[in-house]
Amino acid sequence: MTGPAPAPPSAPTEHPLEAIVGRTIDREGARELSSLLPVLVQDLTDIDWRLQEVLGSKYSQLTEAARYACSTGGKRIRPLLMAATFRALGQESTAPIRSLCAASQLIHTATLVHDDVIDHAGTRRGQPSMPRAFGMPLSIVTGDYLFVRAFQLAAEYSRSVILRSAEACADLVEGEVLQDTAQFDLSRGREHYFRVIERKTAALIASALGSVAEIAGATPAIIEDAIAYGRSLGIAFQIRDDLLDIHGDPDLLGKPLYSDLREGNPTLLTLEAYRHLGGRHQAEFERLFQMRRKRTRHLLRLKELIDSTDAAAEVAAEARRWSDRAIDSLGRFPGGMYRTFLEWLARGAADRPY
Amino acid sequence: MTGPAPAPPSAPTEHPLEAIVGRTIDREGARELSSLLPVLVQDLTDIDWRLQEVLGSKYSQLTEAARYACSTGGKRIRPLLMAATFRALGQESTAPIRSLCAASQLIHTATLVHDDVIDHAGTRRGQPSMPRAFGMPLSIVTGDYLFVRAFQLAAEYSRSVILRSAEACADLVEGEVLQDTAQFDLSRGREHYFRVIERKTAALIASALGSVAEIAGATPAIIEDAIAYGRSLGIAFQIRDDLLDIHGDPDLLGKPLYSDLREGNPTLLTLEAYRHLGGRHQAEFERLFQMRRKRTRHLLRLKELIDSTDAAAEVAAEARRWSDRAIDSLGRFPGGMYRTFLEWLARGAADRPY
8 Å CB contact of B111 and A144 = yes
Q: Both ends of chain B: CA-CA distance in Å?
A: 33
Check residue B188 and give its pLDDT: 87
Whether B90 contacts B54, CB under 8 Å: no
8 Å CB contact of B170 and A152 = yes
Assign B22 a pLDDT band (cuts: 50, 70, 90).
low
Residue A157 sits in a domain whose CATH number is 1.10.600.10
B163 touching A (Cβ < 8 Å): yes
Please give the average per-residue pLDDT across B283-294, as a whole number: 93
> Which chain A residues have a beta carbon less than 8 Å from that of B67?
none
Q: Is residue A4 part of a domain?
A: no
8 Å CB contact of A177 and B118 = no
Q: Is residue A9 part of a domain?
A: no
Please give the distance of CA B285 from its chain centroid, rounded to a whole number. 28
Q: Is residue B67 part of a domain?
A: yes
pLDDT digit string, tens, across residues B54-79: 888 777 888 899 999 998 656 788 99
* Residue A28 confidence (pLDDT) above 80: no
A136 touching B (Cβ < 8 Å): yes
8 Å CB contact of B170 and A57 = yes
Whether A199 contacts A178, CB under 8 Å: yes
When mean pLDDT is compared over A144-148, A182-186, A220-224, the highest value belongs to A220-224
Q: Which of A131, A108, A99 is nearest to A118 (CA)?
A: A131
Assign B23 a pLDDT band (cuts: 50, 70, 90).
low
Please give the average per-residue pLDDT across B267-284, as a whole number: 92
Q: What percent of chain A has pLDDT over 70?
A: 91
* Residue A8 confidence (pLDDT) above 80: no
Q: Measured between CA atoms, how close is B151 to chain A, in angstroms?
A: 7
When mean pLDDT is compared over A26-35, A65-74, B91-100, B156-165, the highest value belongs to B91-100
Q: What's the Cα-to-Cα distance from A28 to each of A11, A17, A347, B123, rounded to whole Å? A: 32, 16, 16, 65
> Which chain B residues have a beta carbon less than 8 Å from that of A151?
151, 154, 162, 166, 169
Residues spanned by the domain of B117? 27-351
The neighbouring-strand residues paired with B144 are none
Q: Is residue B64 part of a domain?
A: yes
> Which chain B residues have a beta carbon less than 8 Å from that of A173?
62, 141, 144-145, 148
8 Å CB contact of B176 and A141 = yes
- Provide the domain count of chain B: 1
Whether A238 contacts A201, CB under 8 Å: yes
8 Å CB contact of B136 and A118 = yes
A162 touching B (Cβ < 8 Å): yes
Check residue B124 and give its pLDDT: 80
8 Å CB contact of B145 and A170 = yes
Q: Which of A48, A1, A38 is nearest to A17 (CA)?
A: A38
Please give the average per-residue pLDDT across B31-60, as a whole number: 85
Please give the average per-residue pLDDT across A100-121, as a whole number: 91
* Residue B152 confidence (pLDDT) above 80: yes
Q: Is residue A150 part of a domain?
A: yes
pLDDT digit string, tens, across residues A29-81: 777 777 888 899 899 999 999 998 888 877 788 889 999 999 865 678 899 99
A148 touching B (Cβ < 8 Å): yes
Average pLDDT, whole number, for chain A?
Answer: 88
8 Å CB contact of A181 and B136 = no
Which of residues B202 and A29 earns the better pLDDT score? B202
A5 touching B (Cβ < 8 Å): no
> Which chain A residues have a beta carbon less than 8 Å from that of B155?
159, 162-163, 166
Shortest CA distance from B176: residue in chain A: A141
Which of residues B26 and B98 earns the better pLDDT score? B98
Mutate to test the interface with A, among B99, B148, B184, B199 (most CBs of A within 10 A): B148
* Residue B8 confidence (pLDDT) above 50: no
pLDDT digit string, tens, across residues A270-297: 999 999 998 899 999 999 999 999 999 9
> Which chain B residues have a beta carbon less than 8 Å from that of A141?
114, 118, 173, 176-177
B53 touching A (Cβ < 8 Å): no
Q: Is residue A280 part of a domain?
A: yes
> Which chain A residues have a beta carbon less than 8 Å from that of B143?
144
* Out of B1, B152, B181, closest to residue A163 by CB: B152
Whether B43 contacts B83, CB under 8 Å: yes
> Which chain A residues have a beta carbon less than 8 Å from that of B145?
170, 173-174
Q: Is residue A20 part of a domain?
A: no
* Residue A202 confidence (pLDDT) above 70: yes
Q: Is residue B77 part of a domain?
A: yes
A60 touching B (Cβ < 8 Å): no
Shortest CA distance from B150: residue in chain A: A166
**Buried b vs exposed e over B291-329: b needs ≥16 C-beta within 10 Å?**
eeebeeebbeebbebbeebebbebbbebbbebbbbbbeb
Please give the average per-residue pLDDT across B253-261, as a whole number: 80
A2 touching B (Cβ < 8 Å): no
Q: What percent of chain A has pLDDT over 90?
A: 62
Rounded Cα distance, A218 and B84, in Å: 44
Q: What percent of chain B has pLDDT over 70?
A: 91
Check residue A34 and give its pLDDT: 78
* Residue A118 confidence (pLDDT) above 80: yes
* Residue B126 confidence (pLDDT) above 80: no
Q: Both ends of chain A: CA-CA distance in Å?
A: 33
Residue type at A52 in one-letter notation: Q
